[in-house]
Structure 1
Amino acid sequence: MRLSLLVVVVAAALSCAAAASPPAGGKMPLTPDFYKQTCPRAERIIAEVIQSKQMENPTTAAGVLRVFFHDCFVGGCERLRADRVQPVSPSPSTMRRSTSLFRATPSTPWSRAKLALEMECPGVVSCADILFTGLGRAGHADGRAPLPGFSVQELVALSGAHTLGFSHCKEFADRIFNYRDKKDGKPEPFDPTMNPSFARGLQGACKDYLKDPTIAAFNDIMTPGKFDNMYFINLERGLGLLDTDEELWTDPRTKPFVQLYASNSTKFFDDFGRAMEKLSLLGVKTGAEGEIRRRCDTYNHGPNMPTN
């Protein structure tokens, strides 16, 4: 499945997922046509902005996924601070340099989409829903949310997002430089769980990472521009980049799910879609519980001010 923009990827995955039940406690249900009357072109505007940004910068989709997990999983997607995210330009090779994945700039897809939506229908579409539109659920207000609970299988499925994006050398340097066995402390040339050719290639590419901390590697060296199940196939071959990636393969609790998704891409897409849907529903604020931010990088009334 060729990746052109995140909205297409996640929408395709979610096409296999069941519709979510309305939130408990009498909250307003989330619905894909939430803005049908108040801002009927909202979904099209968001899709066009993200698609345009993806064509301009092919790492946009990976950046969107990173925001979704790192911002949303930790504290709920309603605390989105989207204007700080600017995906960097890729290089044709596995290794590339970047100034930062997170740059404060008005050219981010969130800023562009919010500006376009404010011109179309001021004060209607929340920043959370700019992110969630591709996930098929709308009706969030912006706020904060608690830590979620996911099953082991759901976490493995979500880890499949590492089929996109990259990691800086410092994040896996302890696997390829001055490695010591975790059991007896014996020095090794690199983590022995890694494919030797892969490890040596990373050593060469990352040799100057202390001088240049922006050097990075694709999380999936085989098909870095495709949203597929190659991430799990790579783990079976010793091609996991991060220590946490490798642990999915060596941990008996997660290994069966790695094997499942490596052998069945349809199952991975289905489970990934369901897990993403569950993640998108965490700590939802609706109605007067939150606010429709005028800008996605700040609260309308300050972090401790009432929002209704």
Structure 2
Amino acid sequence: MIMAFSTGSVGHPIAAILLLGLAVTASAQLSATFYDASCPSALATIKSAVTAAVNNEPRMGASLLRLHFHDCFVQGCDASVLLNDTASFTGEQTAFPNRNSIRGLNVIDNVKAQVEAVCAQTVSCADILTVAARDSIVALGGPSYTVPLGRRDSTTASLSEANRDLPPPNSDLADLVGNFSRKGLSVTDMVALSGAHTIGQAACLNFRSRIYGDSNIAPAYAASLQANCPQSAPNGDGTLAPLDVSTPNSFDNAYYSNLLSQQGLLHSDQQLFNGGSTDALVNTYSSNAAQFSSDFAAAMVNMGNIGVLTGAQGEIRLNCGKVN
């Protein structure tokens, strides 16, 4: 999940308070029963399509979860990341954190087409992306949770914000805490959401500096990664390695046990267990899978409420890749 470029600035405190107030008001308008009358088959349709995609390629579950994260941290959870570039419009997909690594757009397009077939222009792409992330987690053995619904789709995207606000893989702990805090997420949310790295893969480009430069990495683990990720860039830049070396295709708490053994793939991963303020929480999650599942589910709901558009804001896109 934390595979991005740079952190943002704190901004004006009064503006931040006003924005937080708007976000709270908007999220309060979301409801788990939002489509019960207008599109009662929406959730079942999304779940069926997502489960099929993940069963076909387990890695897709991590890609859809990452897509949701990269959406919510830029302009809020408004499906802005799904907007394709045009001759007159540049979206977020070519931002450094997304370039050559964003996946799952075709799956979301397929889900949207199936939902449109049963309920025309009723279910937003932002809600589809949020539900798809939850259904991906469940398909890989993770916890289920209730998703508040009623998001609307943006008519804009922000390349600059994508480059600024998504935390990079070389982040230190203070950077991570600050980055998540600026989105209204707590330290517990941050550590729990980082557990999404119990699935998925990262490219050599994102962990090369760790395996050749960090001291807090198990020597045998570093050596195993160095075999396919040469120190001389760009050789091997695109070579993939699992974020969770133990159970890469199962959504569990093994990610945290790996950190205890100094086997976090990314620098930002190992920062969660490196003699700092989050060590205790990592210890808890490594030994208490139920606590991790509970905190992760709560954190996903919190993240899904960031900067949502509701009511008459935005639109319901007919095609997730372009505005109406």
Q: What's the TM-score bracket when you normalise by the shorter of the two chains?
A: 0.7 to 0.9
Q: Assess if the C-alpha contact under 8 Å between 2:199 and 2:242 holds in 1.
A: yes
1:278 aligns with 2:302: yes
Q: Assess if the C-alpha contact under 8 Å between 2:78 and 2:153 holds in 1.
A: yes
- Given the alignment, which residue of 290, 299, 302 partners 2:314? 290
2:43 counterpart residue number: 43
Q: Assess if the C-alpha contact under 8 Å between 1:78 and 1:128 holds in 2.
A: yes
Q: Which runs of 5+ in 1 are unaligned?
A: 1-22, 85-98, 180-190, 301-308
Q: Which runs of 5+ in 2 are unaligned?
A: 1-22, 85-98, 135-145, 162-181
1:227 counterpart residue number: 251
- Pair 1:266–1:136, CA change in 2 (3 A): same
**Structure 1 SS opposite 2:271:** helix
- Given the alignment, which residue of 194, 199, 202 partners 2:225? 202
The superposition leaves residues 167-224 of structure 1 with CA deviations (integer Å, 9 ceiling, x where unpaired) of 10111111223x3xxxxxxxxxxx3211111011011121386234220100001000
- Pair 1:271–1:28, CA change in 2 (3 A): closer
**Structure 1 SS opposite 2:241:** strand
Q: Distance in 1 between matches of 2:190 and 2:51?
A: 28
Q: Distance in 2 between matches of 1:83 and 1:153?
A: 31
Q: Distance in 1 between matches of 2:71 and 2:80?
A: 6
The normalised TM-score by structure 2 is 0.71
Q: AA paired with 2:320?
A: C
2:128 counterpart residue number: 130
- Given the alignment, which residue of 149, 160, 172 partners 2:184? 149
Q: How far apart are residue 80 of structure 1 and its match?
A: 3.6
Q: Assess if the C-alpha contact under 8 Å between 1:160 and 1:229 holds in 2.
A: yes
Q: How far apart are residue 68 of structure 1 and its match?
A: 1.5
Q: Distance in 1 between matches of 2:27 and 2:186?
A: 25
Q: AA paired with 1:112?
A: N
Q: Assess if the C-alpha contact under 8 Å between 2:83 and 2:322 holds in 1.
A: no
The superposition leaves residues 247-300 of structure 1 with CA deviations (integer Å, 9 ceiling, x where unpaired) of 111152111111111111110000011111111111121121121011111222
Q: Distance in 2 between matches of 1:35 and 1:175?
A: 46
Correspondence 1:72-221 to 2 at 5 A? 72-82=72-82, 100-102=100-102, 108-133=106-131, 134=134, 135-143=146-154, 148-177=183-212, 179=213, 191-207=214-230, 210-221=234-245
Q: Distance in 2 between matches of 1:220 and 1:27?
A: 33
The normalised TM-score by structure 1 is 0.75
Q: Assess if the C-alpha contact under 8 Å between 1:126 and 1:140 holds in 2.
A: yes
**Structure 1 SS opposite 2:272:** helix
1:34 counterpart residue number: 34
Q: Distance in 2 between matches of 1:26 and 1:51?
A: 29
72-81 or 291-300: bigger deviation = 72-81
Q: How many residues align?
A: 250
Q: Assess if the C-alpha contact under 8 Å between 1:100 and 1:214 holds in 2.
A: no
Q: CA RMSD in A?
A: 2.4
**Structure 2 SS opposite 1:294:** coil
Q: How far apart are residue 121 of structure 1 and its match?
A: 1.4
- Pair 1:157–1:230, CA change in 2 (3 A): same
Percentage identity across aligned positions? 36
